[in-house]
């Protein structure tokens, strides 16, 4: 089967405004929320003080939600509190008798309360992320609450000298399963929305949110365990380490975002200098990332690809007499190669982006075993943008693709050219 055939069989799901899994998720979450709140309203709230305390911590966590790289909304404190409430056995020796539905109701109300201030300043939460948080807690609640009595008995009803190993093991297992399930759902949603290969999406999700999830899961178990010895004071005391963890991750996500913004901004320098067509580097990077995703690159690779694509013309700055238009398909191969080498030299000076420098260095080379996929993608995307530019003309785009296909094999990697044809076709339909 040729590449073209394989690509043409790609599902046309990109046409749909929204992925099918997302509405299902939202519906399940909403139903669960209504049922649980209705149930609690109809019956009596068990241990209202405990419910209120955990609900408040969940609301606080929701208020302090944050973004992880890749526009992933998380609320670690809220999730940890929800897990803690779902897995609670006792509060200072007083057994916790609340059921799973009450856990879900407390979570739902706490999350809504925490989201309201954000809504007031017009920063709505990501509905899917919020639904996932609710379902993660619900999953643990429905699995663990029925076992609560048995587990409580296994600790000799909390008397001194009782064994807590079984409880601890149960907590760790349930929290881990729920969090992994959550990551899988997140990966499926992302794969659907961004058109990432599902396997790659799962790996990305584990790599990016895995460590935070581990911290959240442990904190949830600790919260439930600490309530035995400390009572509700545990929630207050817990706020500190959870906040530290959250601050650490927030800073990390922040610098990642600034990094990307800065590279995007500085990549425009050759454009402002008039050496390169306006908006060229941004368009090339967008196209290259879409193609990379189409070809199943993971997020770490995509980030390198994006950096390299943004900076592919940076070598222009080192030339005494810049080539008008940059390293275009129209430029002399030797000239284009010189820009690539100079650009790679600039990037290598950072001392940290060696792989990006290598991608930029090889961006003009015809496909060969030593040329990384990212370089091949940039070569194709760059050529396409040189031919089409900011124009939305169908004929021009078709002609450009035809020209690239003609050079396919010799000049351009055929797999990349076809992947780009698929990306361009999808864009046009939109």
Partner 1 sequence: MRELPWPAKVYIVVLVTAAAALIGRDLVVGGGVAGGLDWPDWRTLIVLALLFLVCESAPTLLNIEQTAVSVSFSAALAAVVLVGPLGAALVGAVAVLSVRPGLPPVKRLFNGAQFAICGYAAGVVYRLAGGPDGLPVERFADLLVPYAAAAAVFVPLNILLIGVMLRLASVVRRDQVQLRDTARFLVSYLGYASFGLLIVGLWASVQSLAAVLVLVPVFIARWAFGQYRAQERSYEATMAALCQAVETKDYYTRGHCTRVSKAATMIAEEIGMGPRRLRAIRYAGMLHDVGKLGVPTKVLQKEGPLTEEEYAAIQLHPMRGLEIVKGIDFLDEAFAGIMHHHERHDGRGYPMGLAGDEIPEFARIIAVADAFDSMTSDRSYRRAKPVEVALEELRKNAGTQFDPVMVDAFVAAVRRRGWDPPVRPPAPPTGQPQTVMKDHDDPTTPIQVAAER
Instruction: Report the residue number, 127 or 260, with the smaller CB distance to partner 1.
Output: 260
**Could you tell me which residues come within 8 angstroms of residue 165 by beta carbon, excluding any fewer than 6 positions away?**
none
Q: Which two tokens stand for residue 40?
A: 């609690």
Contact between 56 and 81 under an 8 Å Cβ cutoff? The reply is no
Instruction: Report the residue number, 41 or 237, with the smaller CB distance to partner 1.
Output: 237
What is d(CA 52, CA 62) in angstroms, rounded to the nearest whole number?
15
Minimum distance from residue 85 beta carbon to partner 1 (Å): 17
Name the β-bridge partners of 67.
73
CA-based nearest residue to 77, from 213, 190, 319, 242: 242
Minimum distance from residue 153 beta carbon to partner 1 (Å): 15
Name the β-bridge partners of 411.
none
Give the 3-state secondary structure of 308-334.
HHHCCCHHHHHCCCCCCCCCCCCCCHH
What is d(CA 14, CA 55) in angstroms, rounded to the nearest whole number?
39
Give the rounded distance of the alpha carbon of 185 from its chain centre. 12
Minimum distance from residue 410 beta carbon to partner 1 (Å): 32
Instruction: Report the residue number, 8 or 350, with the smaller CB distance to partner 1.
Output: 350
Instruction: Report the residue number, 106 or 234, with the smaller CB distance to partner 1.
Output: 234
What is d(CA 425, CA 409) in angstroms, rounded to the nearest whole number?
21
Q: What is the DSSP string of 56-97?
A: HHHHHHHHT-EEETTTEEE-HHHHHHHHHHHT--EETTEE--
Instruction: Report the residue number, 112 or 317, with the smaller CB distance to partner 1.
Output: 317
Q: Which two tokens stand for residue 15?
A: 């046409």
Name the maximum alpha-carbon separation found in the chain: 83
CA-based nearest residue to 340, from 321, 355, 326: 326
Instruction: Report the residue number, 13 or 261, with the smaller CB distance to partner 1.
Output: 261
Minimum distance from residue 322 beta carbon to partner 1 (Å): 9
Contact between 92 and 262 under an 8 Å Cβ cutoff? The reply is no
Instruction: Report the residue number, 186 or 357, with the smaller CB distance to partner 1.
Output: 357
Minimum distance from residue 428 beta carbon to partner 1 (Å): 27
Minimum distance from residue 152 beta carbon to partner 1 (Å): 12
Instruction: Report the residue number, 4 or 250, with the smaller CB distance to partner 1.
Output: 250
Minimum distance from residue 246 beta carbon to partner 1 (Å): 9
CA-based nearest residue to 244, from 76, 69, 57, 72: 76
**Number of neighbours of residue 209 by Cβ within 10 angstroms:** 23
Minimum distance from residue 321 beta carbon to partner 1 (Å): 8
What is d(CA 165, CA 155) in angstroms, rounded to the nearest whole number?
9
What is d(CA 313, CA 164) in angstroms, rounded to the nearest whole number?
62
What is d(CA 395, CA 365) in angstroms, rounded to the nearest whole number?
28
Minimum distance from residue 238 beta carbon to partner 1 (Å): 7
**Could you tell me which residues come within 8 angstroms of residue 272 by beta carbon, excluding any fewer than 6 positions away?**
none
Instruction: Report the residue number, 23 or 93, with the smaller CB distance to partner 1.
Output: 93
CA-based nearest residue to 424, from 222, 308, 283, 261: 283
3-state secondary structure of 16: coil
Minimum distance from residue 297 beta carbon to partner 1 (Å): 20
Instruction: Report the residue number, 264 or 405, with the smaller CB distance to partner 1.
Output: 264
Instruction: Report the residue number, 68 or 127, with the smaller CB distance to partner 1.
Output: 68
Minimum distance from residue 169 beta carbon to partner 1 (Å): 11
Q: Would you tell me which residues interact with partner 1 (CB under 8 A)?
A: 92, 155, 158, 160, 164, 167-168, 211-212, 214-215, 218-219, 221-222, 225-226, 228-231, 233-234, 237-245, 248-249, 251-252, 254-259, 261-266, 268-270, 272-274, 311, 314, 317-318, 320, 346-347, 349-353
């Amino acid at each position: 089967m040729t590449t073209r055939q394989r690509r043409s069989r790609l599902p046309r799901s990109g046409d749909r405004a929204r992925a099918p899994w997302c509405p299902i998720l939202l519906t399940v979450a909403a139903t669960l929320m209504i049922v649980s709140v209705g149930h609690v309203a109809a019956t009596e709230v068990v241990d209202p003080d405990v419910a209120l305390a955990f609900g408040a911590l969940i609301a606080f966590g929701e208020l302090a939600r944050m973004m992880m790289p890749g526009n992933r909304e998380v609320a670690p404190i809220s999730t940890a509190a929800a897990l803690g409430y779902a897995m609670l056995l006792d509060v200072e020796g007083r057994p916790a008798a609340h059921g799973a539905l009450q856990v879900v109701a407390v979570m739902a109300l706490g999350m809504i309360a925490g989201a309201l201030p954000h809504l007031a300043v017009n920063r709505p939460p990501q509905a899917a992320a919020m639904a996932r948080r609710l379902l993660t807690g619900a999953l643990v609640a429905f699995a663990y609450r029925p076992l609560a009595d048995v587990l409580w008995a296994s600790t000799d009803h909390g008397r001194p000298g009782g064994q807590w190993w079984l409880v601890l093991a149960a907590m760790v297992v349930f929290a881990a399963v729920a969090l992994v399930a959550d990551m899988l759902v997140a990966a499926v949603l992302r794969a659907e929305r961004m058109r990432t290969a599902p396997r790659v999406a799962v790996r990305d999700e584990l790599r990016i949110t895995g460590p935070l999830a581990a911290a959240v899961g442990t904190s949830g178990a600790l919260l439930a365990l600490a309530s035995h010895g400390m009572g509700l004071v545990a929630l207050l005391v817990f706020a500190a380490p959870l906040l530290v963890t959250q601050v650490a991750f927030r800073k990390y996500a922040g610098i990642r975002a600034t990094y990307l913004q800065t590279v995007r901004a500085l990549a425009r320098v050759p454009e402002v200098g008039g050496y390169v067509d306006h908006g060229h580097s941004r368009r090339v990077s967008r196209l290259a990332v879409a193609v990379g995703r189409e070809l199943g690159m993971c997020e770490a690779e995509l980030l390198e690809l994006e950096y390299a694509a943004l900076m592919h013309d940076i070598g222009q700055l080192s030339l005494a007499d810049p080539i008008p238009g940059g390293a275009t398909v129209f430029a002399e191969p030797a000239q284009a190669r010189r820009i690539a080498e100079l650009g790679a030299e600039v990037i290598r000076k950072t001392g940290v982006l060696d792989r990006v420098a290598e991608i930029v260095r090889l961006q003009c080379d015809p496909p060969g075993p030593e040329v990384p996929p990212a370089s091949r993608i940039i070569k194709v995307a760059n050529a396409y943008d040189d031919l089409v530019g900011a124009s939305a003309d169908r004929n021009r785009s078709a002609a450009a693709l035809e020209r690239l296909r003609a050079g396919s094999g010799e000049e351009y990697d055929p797999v990349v050219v076809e992947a780009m044809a698929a990306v361009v076709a999808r864009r046009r339909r939109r």
